[in-house]
């Protein structure tokens, strides 16, 4: 094969993905071009590129899928190669072909390889013919409801419904019985069609409590292929990964060699070029079953980079330029242990509902690797995936890597938008994870423990103190003793959905006493500056970060974030927001994908009435009372904002 040199790379992606590719491309001497939607016009990946091109008109969610606009951007800027990142068009054979047809080097596998493995049904057929063990299921062309239900009964419940295109857990549903099958089938098809433009699905037997193991592979245009070990991606919510680690606690040298050999065999059979990942389910007996192949670099590739000391984006660029793989299989070494967590703008306690808005304070630790594209004051739009950062640790042992990651998570400040930071810490601390026993059932089995970390009364008192002393009109802290009489200041605030009353008293010696829920807490403010407060409680001095954003206060203390809304001077609020007044309100910014009722329908409490999609996930909204539907304020395809009334019901 001849060399395919290129000099300027357009990155057809956004956020931390674009920044990650830019970093390596620049190190290798390539110019970099960014593309952006209207929602991202001031984003860091736009500012840091050599050139940036606006692609597509609203809606912003579709901009990064505009193949013609991306090709035109490459031509306009003189880019001669395109890196698709690891989302959007990364596994789209039409995009790969369009790049090739335009004379651009596509930094990824061939369109034929993407087509062969990008369709889950076709990929399973290829693997079965190659003798690779696959999960029993149905991947036929007959997609009508009756045929699908019949095949599900033949396979035996529980079954998995999976979109044939795309990945990331979208278009995937676990169905436990026949009664729920058709509703789940509709939901999976709708989500798949919205995410990938294809509502076709396959069925698979649901394997009880498996491990999700994936093998990182690379091939080149000279017929070489290697694997770089496995990653364990078992800790998932909504079938989307939250924590990945390498090596897997469940995989030993012999099993690693067998799984790696199967993966390399598949790469060679496909004449595959570039980075890829073969995903398997590993049962309790050590048997593994092929699920799918992702024909791109994975979000979790940094854990493999930590173990191997290699730059996988560099490998992608070199392979795309026609060079052979830099190493042979026997030259690849795996050293230590690495763990990655995905920090997401979502509320883990509310079924991982995604959150958008302004990130008032954003500070990431410097001691571990962090991949992100945020800054204080940045807006998190509702159109894209909820992942906002990846934190990766590496250590000589698993326990060392886990400990380093927990310290890094505790130091991270993400205030202003609800994140899963505390939830991730709960996962890392849970005995099952510590013991290396987490399977794909981990979050479902331990959700109550993971979602309900106890908020100490002393921490609520600390937040109450910050609420008072950080107010712009507050009396300056410090100043020592005073002979002036002190009077308690009443405070009212909302925290965790509940309204609390408290009193703050400044003692004559300059210390403070907070009374909340009938309990007194004494403390002394050592310093208050910027976004940091230092306090002494008893013999212990410690720090907390905070930020005020309008009537909201966010306080972070030892990795836990408390969000308070100051109601001290607010008028009494109605309790109808949950829909008890008959008005169903959008719980988040999103797009209407299904209206499930008609005018005049009788509905019961809790009956689904509308489905919204945000950050690539669907969220069903239900009736708050029993009655008759009197108004439907939206239609399928509409964009709605948080709090907008979408359906009205008369009791």
Catalytic residue check, 3: no
Q: How do 489-495 and 337-344 pair as beta strands? A: unpaired
Coil vs helix vs strand at 22: helix
The token duo for 252 is 């030993």
B/e letters for 411-434, b = 16+ CB within 10 Å, e = fewer, are bbbbbbbbbbbbbbbbbbebebbe
| CA separation for the pair 116, 410 (Å, rounded) | 43
Q: What is the residue-wise DSSP string for 194-243?
A: HHHS---EEEEEPPSS-EEEEEEEEE-TTS-EEEEEEEEEEEEETTEEEE
Q: Measuring CA to CA, how many Å separate 34 from each of 22, 66, 383, 605, 606?
A: 9, 14, 18, 48, 45
Alpha carbon distance 111, 103 (integer Å): 14
Report whether 231 contacts 282 (CB < 8 A): no
The tokens describing 227, both together, are 């694997």
Choose, from 189, 231, 296, 545, the residue flagged as catalytic: 296
**Neighbour tally for 263: CB within 10 Å:** 27
Bin 436: left if φ > 0, else alpha if -120 < ψ < 50, else beta. left
C-alpha–C-alpha distance, residues 232 and 408, integer Å = 21
Q: How far apart are CA 194 and CA 187, in angstroms?
A: 11
- Is the CA virtual torsion 160, 207, 113, 371 positive or negative? positive
Give the active site residues.
296
């Amino acid at each position: 094969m001849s060399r395919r040199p290129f000099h300027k790379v357009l990155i057809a992606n956004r956020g931390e993905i674009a920044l990650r590719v830019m970093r390596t491309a620049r190190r290798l001497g390539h110019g970099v071009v960014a593309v952006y939607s209207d929602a991202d016009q001031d984003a860091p990946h736009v500012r840091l590129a050599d050139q940036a091109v606006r692609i597509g008109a609203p809606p912003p969610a579709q901009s990064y899928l505009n193949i013609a606009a991306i090709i035109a951007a490459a031509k306009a800027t003189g880019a001669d190669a395109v890196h698709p990142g690891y989302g959007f068009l990364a596994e789209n054979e039409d995009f790969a072909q369009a790049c090739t047809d335009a004379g651009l080097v596509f930094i990824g596998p061939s369109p034929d390889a993407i087509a062969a493995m990008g369709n889950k049904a076709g990929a399973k057929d290829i693997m079965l013919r190659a003798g690779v063990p696959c999960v029993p299921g149905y991947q036929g062309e007959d997609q009508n409801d009756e045929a699908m239900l019949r095949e599900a009964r033949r396979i035996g419940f529980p079954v998995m419904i999976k979109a044939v295109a795309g990945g990331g857990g979208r278009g995937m549903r676990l169905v436990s019985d026949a009664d729920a099958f058709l509703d789940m089938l509709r939901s999976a098809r709708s989500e798949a069609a919205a995410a990938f433009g294809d509502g076709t699905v396959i069925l698979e037997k649901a394997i009880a409590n498996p491990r999700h193991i994936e093998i990182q592979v690379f091939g080149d245009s000279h017929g070489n292929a290697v694997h770089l070990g496995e990653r364990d991606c078992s800790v998932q919510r909504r079938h989307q990964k939250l924590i990945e680690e390498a090596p897997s606690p469940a995989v030993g040298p012999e099993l690693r060699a067998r799984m790696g050999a199967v993966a390399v065999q598949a790469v060679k059979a496909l004449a595959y070029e570039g980075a890829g990942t073969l995903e398997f389910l590993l049962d309790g007996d050590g048997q593994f079953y092929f699920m799918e192949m992702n024909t791109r670099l994975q979000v979790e590739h940094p854990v493999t980079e930590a173990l191997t000391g290699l730059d996988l984006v560099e490998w992608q660029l070199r392979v795309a330029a026609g060079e052979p793989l830099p190493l042979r299989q026997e030259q690849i070494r795996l050293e230590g242990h690495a763990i990655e967590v995905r920090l997401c703008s979502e509320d883990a306690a509310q079924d991982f509902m995604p959150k958008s808005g302004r990130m008032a304070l954003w500070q990431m630790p410097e001691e571990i690797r962090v991949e992100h594209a945020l800054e204080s004051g940045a807006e998190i739009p509702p159109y894209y995936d909820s992942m906002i950062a990846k934190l990766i640790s590496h250590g000589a042992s698993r326990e060392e890597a886990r400990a380093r990651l927990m310290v890094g998570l505790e130091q991270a400040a993400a205030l202003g938008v609800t994140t899963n930071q505390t939830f991730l810490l709960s996962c890392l601390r849970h005995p099952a994870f510590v013991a290396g026993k987490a399977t794909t059932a981990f979050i479902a089995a331990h959700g109550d423990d993971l979602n309900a970390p106890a908020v100490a009364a002393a921490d609520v008192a600390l937040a109450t103190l910050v609420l008072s002393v950080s107010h712009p009109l507050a009396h300056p802290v410090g100043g020592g003793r005073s002979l002036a009489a002190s009077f308690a200041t009443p405070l009212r605030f909302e925290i965790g959905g509940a309204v609390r009353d408290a009193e703050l008293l400044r003692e004559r010696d300059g210390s403070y006493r907070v009374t909340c829920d009938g309990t007194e807490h004494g403390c002394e403010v050592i310093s208050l500056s910027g976004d940091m407060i230092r306090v002494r409680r008893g013999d212990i001095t410690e720090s907390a970060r905070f930020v005020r954003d309008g009537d909201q206060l966010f306080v972070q203390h030892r990795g836990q974030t408390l969000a308070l809304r100051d109601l001290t001077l607010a008028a009494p609020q109605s309790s109808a927001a949950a829909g008890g007044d008959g008005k169903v309100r959008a719980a988040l910014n999103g797009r209407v994908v299904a209206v499930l009722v008609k005018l005049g329908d009788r509905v019961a409490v809790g009956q689904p009435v509308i489905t919204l999609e945000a950050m690539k996930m669907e969220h069903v909204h239900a009736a708050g009372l029993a009655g008759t539907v009197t108004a439907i304020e939206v239609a399928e395809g509409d964009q709605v904002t948080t709090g907008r009334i979408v359906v009205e019901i008369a009791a």
